Amino acid sequence: MKKDLFGEVTRQLLEVAELKYLLLNSAPVIAEIARLVIETLKRGNKIILFGNGGSAADAQHIAAEIVGRFTLHNRRPLPAIALTTNTSILTSIANDYGFDKVFSRQVQGLVKRGDLVIAISTSGNSPNVLEAVKTARKLGAKTVGFTGLSGGRLKKMVHIAFCAPSKITARIQECHITAGHIICELVERVF
């Protein structure tokens, strides 16, 4: 059994290493997203992030790095909001309007022209994420999608799509947070 566990751990680590190597092909897209985040923040606008499940956790993680800090202790806080953190808002909107509206309703109340919305969905087909992107675009926000290999419907709806080179949810999420960390570091170098 010990050998079986070691073999499986080794197999998965090799899979992750190969995937990280494949991310090199996404470098231009990640750089373009970083440029868009930097431009948005330089104009005094904000970053809005959201997703479901593990993608909600990634949205919160990236927002925390932008508002708090990534590696530098002495930079000013930058405006970013994860729409996944307020249980009262989430549950009241889900109850009163339906789960498909939990993000779009918040986008209506918080997003202004010039803001940047980052929608995270491993499948690219989460109805509440797609609804919020549609709403953000109507309000004049730029939109970015973090999704999986196929991109789902999200890929066609956003201005820029980062499609992780995998079909496996866990691996897609690992790519999302890697790209998120790279973007946060590039943002921090500017601010």
* pLDDT tens track for 74-125: 899 999 999 999 999 999 999 999 999 999 999 999 999 999 999 999 999 9
CATH code, domain with 114: 3.40.50.10490
Looking at the domain assignment, is residue 16 inside a domain?
Answer: no
Looking at the domain assignment, is residue 18 inside a domain?
Answer: no
Neighbour count for residue 127 (Cβ, 10 Å): 15
Please state the pTM of the whole predicted model: 0.95
Looking at the domain assignment, is residue 121 inside a domain?
Answer: yes
Res 36: pLDDT = 98
pLDDT at residue 72 is higher than 90: no
Q: What is the mean pLDDT of residues 21-32?
A: 97
Pairing of strands 160-163, 116-120: unpaired
Task: Tell me the one-letter amino acid at 111.
Answer: V
Looking at the domain assignment, is residue 149 inside a domain?
Answer: yes
Please choose, from the candidates 145, 157, 152, the residue with its C-alpha nearest in 3D space to the C-alpha of residue 29.
145
Res 1: pLDDT = 64
Taking CA atoms, 29 is separated from 39, 44, 90, 135, 160, in Å, by 15, 23, 31, 23, 8
Q: What is the mean pLDDT of residues 10-38?
A: 96
Res 113: pLDDT = 97
Taking CA atoms, 130 is separated from 65, 69, 140, 179, in Å, by 25, 29, 16, 21
Looking at the domain assignment, is residue 43 inside a domain?
Answer: yes
Coil, strand or helix: which one is 118? strand
Taking CA atoms, 52 is separated from 10, 36, 118, 128, in Å, by 30, 23, 13, 9
| pLDDT tens profile 129-173 | 999 999 999 999 999 999 999 999 999 999 999 999 999 999 999
- Can you read off the two tokens belonging to residue 124? 């690219």
Q: What is the mean pLDDT of residues 32-49?
A: 98
- The C-alpha angle 131, 109, 85, rounded to 5 degrees, equals 75
Looking at the domain assignment, is residue 7 inside a domain?
Answer: no
Residue 9: pLDDT band by 50, 70, 90 thresholds? very high
Range of 64's domain? 26-190
Pairing of strands 116-120, 47-51: parallel
In whole angstroms, what is the distance from residue 41 CA to residue 98 CA?
32
In the chain, the number of structural domains is 1
| pLDDT tens profile 53-70 | 999 999 999 999 999 999
Looking at the domain assignment, is residue 99 inside a domain?
Answer: yes
Please choose, from the candidates 66, 179, 161, 94, the residue with its C-alpha nearest in 3D space to the C-alpha of residue 121.
161
Report residue 168 CA to chain centroid gap: 17
